[in-house]
Amino acid sequence: LWLFFFLGRLAGLAPLISPYPPNFHNQSALLLPPAWSVNGSVDYMLGTDDLGRDILSRLMNGARLTFGLSIISVIVATIFGLIIGALAGLSTGVKSSFLNHLLDLALSIPSLLIAIIIVAIIGPGLANTVWAIILATLPLFVHAISNAVRDEMEKDYAIAYRLDGASMYQVLVHAILPNIFESIVIVATMATSSAILDIAALGFLRLGAQAPSSEWGAMLAESLDLLYIAPWTVALPGVLIFISVLSINLVGDGLSSALKRRLES
């Protein structure tokens, strides 16, 4: 959780605290190894790439693009998913059956493949990547929220609320949503790790962020040719992607365990 908060603060403050601008070139410091290496320099703690750009500064600014945009994408997908999922959960009959089959079909396709198809249609770029991630993640939220709403509507407290004269909207806002909030947070947490991987993958495939962007996936793609002569240029973005996904998954695991204990008590 602390690591998750650290990455969030880093994404917000990176332009203010990074040692150099992300695309600042120093022609006299090409392919410098990290500072702990014999040939390293403390001026460039994590070394430089083949254009003399500071890896640390680029990784810090890349946190805004990979980590920050994944959170923004998931927040937007959560809002739309909550609206559509609530309407789907309250629907019955043919409409409910059609929506369920449509969502099952969408969930059977990997989110990365959906994102690739969307980007291929609307064109590459970071802004289009964000929309692709939102649209690719949306079925997950709609499915989870609609199922949660449908389950809660059948419980005694919701039935009693309706018998007291409450409208569907009142039951949804005042009774159901407060009881499924934890479930929504858990789904959003897990979706964030998937969004990070999708943004990085699209950047790596050169369908998302384009060079000279400091997005972590784009940095991996740009430095792939340097793997044998400057492995730190590839390893460090990969390590950060791994740490980000690991921290979010562990937070989601913790939230799931806390919710289970809360329901049991």
Question: What are the tens digits of pLDDT across the range 103-135?
Answer: 777 777 888 888 888 888 888 888 899 999 998
Identify the pLDDT of residue 67.
92
Identify the pLDDT of residue 93.
67
Run of H or E including 169? helix 168-171
Q: How far apart (Å, rounded) are the C-alpha atoms in residues 245 and 258?
A: 20
How far is CA 154 from each of CA 104, 147, 187, rounded to the nearest angstrom? Answer: 22, 11, 22
pLDDT grade, residue 168 (50/70/90)?
A: confident
Q: How far apart (Å, rounded) are the C-alpha atoms in residues 102 and 91?
A: 14
pLDDT grade, residue 95 (50/70/90)?
A: low
pLDDT tens-digit readout, 185-232: 888 988 999 999 999 999 999 888 888 889 999 999 998 888 889 899
Give the contacts of 229 (CB within 8 A, at least 6 positions apart).
31
Identity of the amino acid at 109: I
Residue count (the chain)? 265
